[in-house]
Structure 1
Amino acid sequence: MSETADALECRVLMRGATARDALMTRAVLERADVQVQTCSTLAELVDELARGAGALVLAEEALADPAATGLTQALQRQPPWSDLPVLVLARQGADSRVVAEAMDSVANVTVIERPMRVAAFVSSVRSALRARKRQYDLRATLEGLRVADQRKTEFLATLAHELRNPLAPLQTALTLLKRKRPGPDEAARHYDMMRRQIDHMVRLVNDLMEISRITRGRIELDMGPIDLRQVLRDAVELSRPLLDAAQHQLALRLPEGPLPLAGDSVRLTQVFSNLLNNAAKYTPAAGHVVLTAQAQDGQAVVGVQDDGIGIAPDMLDTVFDMFVQVSGASKAAQGGLGIGLTLARSLVELHGGRIVAHSAGLGQGSTFTVRLPLQAEPAVETPVDAPAATAAALTALVVDDNRDAADSLAEFLEAVGMSTGVAYSGAQALELLPELRPDLAILDIGMPGMDGYELARRLRQHPAGQRTLLVALTGWGQQRDREATAEAGFDHHLVKPLDPEQLIALVEGFSR
């Protein structure tokens, strides 16, 4: 709200018994720092009311004006949040009929008998204005809730749309594989496509989980000395497929010297990859993207500039907010939930930095600038040797009440050389345990009857399961969920859908 509009809504509109009374009353209130607008007629006061008011002060004589009907109607048309205070300055003596009618027709009326003590009158006016201020706060809250609800509705519609997009080709490919029974080459093409679509769905769900963790303050950064230049190179590598697919030209301009700072390299790579992905998605084909970095006043300043669809001026302050999408942007983007910028801002702020958006307007491209505090000393990068892969014939137990999930996971483990046993409940798993004696057990958590936590505790107590590598496989990935699985005796916590490469790496690092 502008300063002028705010002033109008905080003023007192007054209609006195006489012009002299109005001047005296106004002088009293203005000495108390109350803004007053005197009105020569009640009709004028009704007109001014439409522009805004914090309270009304009316002499009893003014209520006999025929325009009082218009005032009553105006007050009865107030929105649900509003209950404008009306102070009536009544004549001394018997109760007045017009005052009684005013009290019956208008809810928030306070009657003050004349003559009155100045202190009591000023106190009453200030109390009325404070009550009106609380009404304005309620209005702002209700408007915020309305806008948030509208954004969430749009977000859920976008989420449903984005989840349907990969499901459609998955369903089509499965139908083709079942009906056509294609040869290996043709089938491999369908499998590759299905893998891409599943990866896309996983990214959508991961973004949602990241937002949930950040908004609840449950994200932890793995801070260490890094060179921001390497982070930016890693981000380019992640975003390269999207940039190349759109035939964009990327210009990478990094300084020759290091940009040392303390940060989580994985999270910062995620930040700049998100910005590059946005530039790729919201820029028409064969566009230009420029990634720059420099040291400036003790800060690393990174810019991601594109010549894409741009941002309207009224959206620059809200483009990072949850559930906000730039008008028309969802049509330009090739998939996504529109929460990448929210993630980016949150992660940058966790690093003590700041991110801002610039655009000359729609159709004129965008620039996102990130500022992060530099360290005095350059970062030292220690190369990490890749762990040597170990191959071993292991026995695995898969437990999941979802038979398709259990059987397919067991088939995958067998394909990589393990022998497996499958159980669809905790009780079945305990029956298999003495004979199977598994090296690895992958347990679903949310099973009916005996859940994964209880099964893990029983496995740990059984002689055949005391040395078993226990892996929880669940759709829950919050920190409290990981703490619960660790307390139950699990060695690792994996989140559905399972990343096969992550499981293979875990098994390869397992020493029997």
Structure 2
Amino acid sequence: MSKFKKLSTATTRYESLRLNKLRRYDVIDSPPELLFDLIAEIAKTAFKAAGSFISFIDDTQVYFKANTSLIPVSVMKKKDSLCTLALQSDEITLIEDTKTCIALKNNAYVKMDHGIRFYAAAPITTMEGFIIGAVSVMDNKARHDIDKDQLSVLKWLARITLEKLESRLINRISVRAYDDRLHRLAHDMKNPATSLIAYGQLLDKGLLSKEKLASLGNKIEQTGRNIEQTMNNLLNEAKNENAAIDLKFETVKVMDLINTAAATFDFTLKQKQQTLKITCHTEGYIQVDQERINDVFNNLLSNAIKYSHEGASIEIICSATAGNIIFEFKDNGLGLNKEDITKLFTKFAKLSSVPTAKERSHGIGLYIVKTLVQLHGGKVWAKSAGKNLGSSFFISLPK
């Protein structure tokens, strides 16, 4: 009952996809985990074998997540591992006596004292059909007593191993989703919190007229409502395990979006003695989730203010094409170098520039911008002539 075939060469495309899938599980070079150890022990017991392995096959090496044998390895070269035999078929590989396999006669782990004389491996196959590893058993003597039930157990253990990998991956994604919500909450709360502090400072001075007090009261109320809405959005998203964002589209006047952002940062602009110029070449309307696009505009205008010096001029320019409306947030501030451009719109990006008034930057704002714009079917990009030469951030949204 012996089965052995010489490995065929995998296509470059298949191997690339297989490795990408394997690395998504984040199992290579990871520490031992109890369930994997238990799976290996069950395999060893079921076969009354000298040892068992759970192994994962990378591009040049094989990593052992569990090893109950007396062979003291946690990693070995791919060419030396019998585990790679599992790559040739989605069926169980069974070698009752390795001494009968010409292709293994020079294998170091077969030739060694008390080496591998018997070997059976069930491939760990993903839902897409990629073989990423194997659950295997070995013995230091030939075995001709293996029955179908034992082989079935080995196959089931490989399936359980895959289920464990999938559950680990889902848990990690879930944790990252909650972590993202936390960082988004901190980021989204930062600007309104700063505004409330500034409003409080103005009230404390007691120098405002009745008209300005009334205006300030309205701003405080609106800021509070924005915070409440942000919290509600977060709670609604948290109900979805996949952290999907449910957009609520409505028809909005383009200038209303721009004016809302400008009003939000009116006080911040005055604090840094900056001016905001708005140039809009369209009076049209657009279908968007207004709250989400407000978040996008607030992020971009906030960054323009942060990375511009006192007294600087900032511009919001709006233009229309046949199918899109393009918004440009332009400043003459610290600018971006080539390395910064490659990092933009990634989570927790660390750029070379530091806010001019030591304002805080958490590195997640542009990531949120990209996510929300893409959900609207739009695009986002940036341009800069270099350090200290300003920058422009563009959003293109379909009409």
Q: Which has the higher contact order (CA 8 A, sep 6+)?
A: 2
- Structure with greater Cα Rg: 1
Normalised by the length of structure 1, the TM-score is 0.39
